[in-house]
Structure 1
Amino acid sequence: MLDAKAELVNQMKPVLDQPVVSPLRKLDEDLAQIPGLIRLTLGEPDLSVAEHIKVAAQKAIAQNDSHYAPSSGSLNLRRAISQYMQERFASPAYDPQTEVVVTIGAAEALFASFNDLFRPGDKLIIPTPAYPVYATLAQQAGLEIIELNTAPDFNLTPAKLKKVLAQHPDAKGMIMNYPANPTGVTYQEAEIQELVAILARTSLLVISDEIYAELSYDYPHTSMAKWLPNQTIVVSGLSKAFAMTGYRVGYLVGPQLLVQQVQAMHQLIVACPPGPMMAAAEEALTHGQTDLALTRQLYQRRGEWLLTGLAKIGFQVIRPAGTFYVFAKIPTAWREDDVGFVTDLAHKAKVGLVPGSLFGAGGAGYVRLSYAAAESELALVLNRLTAYVN
């Protein structure tokens, strides 16, 4: 290993004096070393990108779309995003010129938002269990994390929201993520309105991560921005619903002054998104509704089938209303030791899951399973889990 000069290490930004690593990525890399293991760990769709979307990217390459694009993304894609948000989720009519930014995946949109819309020391409320990268990015930005434990039902209710706001009246922001990773919980429009009625009386900035919006099964997704437009930044992308994880196209929409503040950070980080990937994203958002309907049906069928199988084995499961995750209570013999359970399961049954404690308060004693995997693999996982539990 090549060691850096000590003085260089000492002068690093304090919040980064230890490398910030995604807990999920680290776990996945560790489990990958076990021979024969089936990993249901990362939120990586097993599906292929639709052919017409691939053709759009190929056409852009053939037409030499290889030069710098506008830093906020091509105007055509920004228009498509604004129209898509209005038509699908009744969002405000975002101005493509000033209220939409195309990012390198939703992760970059979150990074830029955390670093440019808050100041070090600001309090950020994160309802948990939650995607662990929120806490990692908040740590990197120097924010103080306030965990809002939503267990045991994993719903953010008005009562829970009022309680945390009373305890932390100086909080500056809050993350919303629904359909939620890892629990699959989502909210009907009336429930969103109840939360908005409380949030509208505050000065909280809401960062609403709606990356799984198209994977809502029980009822149509309602964007937070529909009812709280002046306080909401919506972050989303094409990785999950369109299986375009490697294309790295995300976006951010919201009030002009806030979006332009993020845009200033964004252009310094990445200069601009790549043209062929934006052409593919425009095609997906404009002509991809048939693909989405089929994908939604497939994941819902897989989820119901997996739930039935897990229940037969003896797992207590929460039925997901969206996403492609199941959050399941581990067998009682393990009590709350989800890390020990996952480790033992990986070595003895060759099944890789994610311990719930990685997702923050309320997650201990649970595991997350991703059913963004081939049905043959899911069947093999159920067989191995059955043998292990018995």
Structure 2
Amino acid sequence: MFRQILESQTLLINTQSKKLASQNKKVIKFGFGQSPFLPPEPVMQALKDAVDRKEYSSVQGDAELRAHISKFHAAHNGLKASPDNILVAPGSKILLYAVLMAFEKADVFIPAPAWVSYEPQAELAGHNSIKVPTSFDEKWRINGELLLKAAQSKKHKASILILNYPGNPDGLTYTEEELKAIAAVARQLDILVISDEIYGLLDHSSSHASFATYYPEKTITTTGLSKWCGAGGWRLGVAMLYDNIEPEFKQALIGIASETYSCAPVPVQMAAKVAYGRFKASMDYVDRQIRIYKEVGNYCYNGLTAVDIALHPPEGGFYLFPDFSRHKERLHKAGIATSTELCSRLLLETGVALLPGTAFGFEQDQLVARLAYVDFNVPAADSIFNLERDAVNTVTGIQLIGSWLSGLG
């Protein structure tokens, strides 16, 4: 009678962690990917100043804000979209869903691992989900050959690929050559690509290249304030449409928006105008985040690889995707055969919260998990970040994982 849609596991782990914390139990919060940074002071002040802005905006979003977004991304990495081809919404999640809902029937290619909401959204929209499996050796990245192979399972005329990089859950990105190869196959198969680049500004080398650069004719880029601006709960998402988008497709997107969310909160849009309108100041703020994320991420990488956990160095965002399979025999002897059991036991016995690989499209017996290295304190703007002082929970958490593994015998 009812749809079988489970609660998002990222939100569920946050709830479980809060429950343990309410019982006065120490929890290392590696499970929920929420930025520890506050938005810049001028952006927060703009939100306060706009508290009386209670009117509805246009469905597409404030015109001046869209102009700022267009200029900001053109300056950041050459991503070009006219203000009239930009949609602003309460979060990028609803924009992803609106794009999927605009199609009656489609095949949706979803790399595995992938963010937890892609597949449920595709199912809610009534589409055929096709996983594109990856592996540790491939750095959890898809390529043209894997996409061609997955296309053999197509059932419908319309095809959509959801590409996410820097990636959640893996914290990795794509090279220019890899993007060009995927673009070539997408062009060959006439695939619409939703390029989820919500972590793009947090590329650790500050060299993020948008997929639309290589496949401009049919790429929709999604982004927003939640990650680079530390404003996840404000819910401000952006979709940048391709230049020659079909009028009926664009109208479908606007129509879905008008019948669902109406518009993004106007006070938040006013704050977003400051975030996107002050390019130099915003990029200085982003650069500071990247320096800190790199230091914390590399500490976690070094600590985990030191205890023989398979892992790739972080390249963007604030995630790692540790693979515990080298400890499979030891884990099995301890009664741990699945990623869910792994994360449950780790949380219960050490207070370290990770998210199991099943949340990201993997089978239960694949002993992988996501680690969000965001459990640290951000020092004042005039202070230098100190790992031992400001990231005590992170340091403790990595040490606890290592000692827990060693203690399994």
Q: How high is the TM-score relative to the length of structure 1? A: 0.90
Where do 1:48-197 residues align within 5 Å? 48-61=38-51, 64-92=52-80, 94-97=81-84, 99-116=85-102, 118-120=103-105, 122-152=106-136, 153=138, 154-168=140-154, 170=156, 172-197=159-184
Give the CA deviation at 1:44: 0.5
Between the aligned partners of 1:103 and 1:329, the Cα distance in structure 2 is 35
Q: 1:217 aligns with which of 189, 194, 204?
A: 204
Q: Once superposed, what is the RMSD of the aligned Cα atoms?
A: 1.9
Between the aligned partners of 2:131 and 2:5, the Cα distance in structure 1 is 22
Q: Which amino acid aligns with 1:334?
A: L
Does the CA-based 8 Å contact 1:307-1:317 persist in structure 2?
yes
SS in 2 for 1:126: strand
Structure 2: which 5+ residue stretches go unaligned? 377-390
Structure 1 residue 277 corresponds to structure 2 residue 268: yes
Identify the residue that residue 353 of structure 1 maps to in structure 2.
354
Between the aligned partners of 1:110 and 1:162, the Cα distance in structure 2 is 23
Aligned residues: 370
SS in 2 for 1:65: coil
Between the aligned partners of 1:59 and 1:53, the Cα distance in structure 2 is 10
Does the CA-based 8 Å contact 1:72-1:267 persist in structure 2?
no
Identify the residue that residue 13 of structure 1 maps to in structure 2.
none
Q: Per the alignment, do residues 80 and 362 of structure 1 end up closer, same or farther by CA in structure 2, a change over 3 Å counting?
A: farther
Q: 1:38 aligns with which of 10, 28, 53?
A: 28
Where do 1:12-27 residues align within 5 Å? 16-27=2-13
1:100-144 Cα distance to aligned partner (Å, 9 max, x none):
11010111111211112x224x21110110011001111111111
Between the aligned partners of 1:239 and 1:71, the Cα distance in structure 2 is 20
% of aligned pairs identical?
A: 25
Does the CA-based 8 Å contact 1:252-1:259 persist in structure 2?
no
Deviates further, 169-178 or 299-308: 169-178
Does the CA-based 8 Å contact 1:130-1:360 persist in structure 2?
yes
Q: 2:15 aligns with which of 7, 22, 29?
A: 29
Q: How high is the TM-score relative to the length of structure 2? A: 0.86
Give the CA deviation at 1:20: 4.2
SS in 2 for 1:201: helix
Q: Which amino acid aligns with 2:104?
A: R
Identify the residue that residue 307 of structure 1 maps to in structure 2.
301
Does the CA-based 8 Å contact 1:22-1:136 persist in structure 2?
no
Structure 1: which 5+ residue stretches go unaligned? 1-9, 11-15
SS in 1 for 2:87: strand
Q: Which amino acid aligns with 1:318?
A: H
Identify the residue that residue 261 of structure 1 maps to in structure 2.
252
Does the CA-based 8 Å contact 1:325-1:369 persist in structure 2?
yes
1:263-291 Cα distance to aligned partner (Å, 9 max, x none):
11112112221222011112112221111
Q: Which amino acid aligns with 2:331?
A: W
Q: Per the alignment, do residues 361 and 137 of structure 1 end up closer, same or farther by CA in structure 2, a change over 3 Å counting?
A: same
Does the CA-based 8 Å contact 2:53-2:267 persist in structure 1?
yes
Between the aligned partners of 2:170 and 2:350, the Cα distance in structure 1 is 24
Between the aligned partners of 1:338 and 1:179, the Cα distance in structure 2 is 23
Q: Which amino acid aligns with 2:108?
A: L
Between the aligned partners of 1:345 and 1:272, the Cα distance in structure 2 is 41
Q: Per the alignment, do residues 341 and 19 of structure 1 end up closer, same or farther by CA in structure 2, a change over 3 Å counting?
A: closer
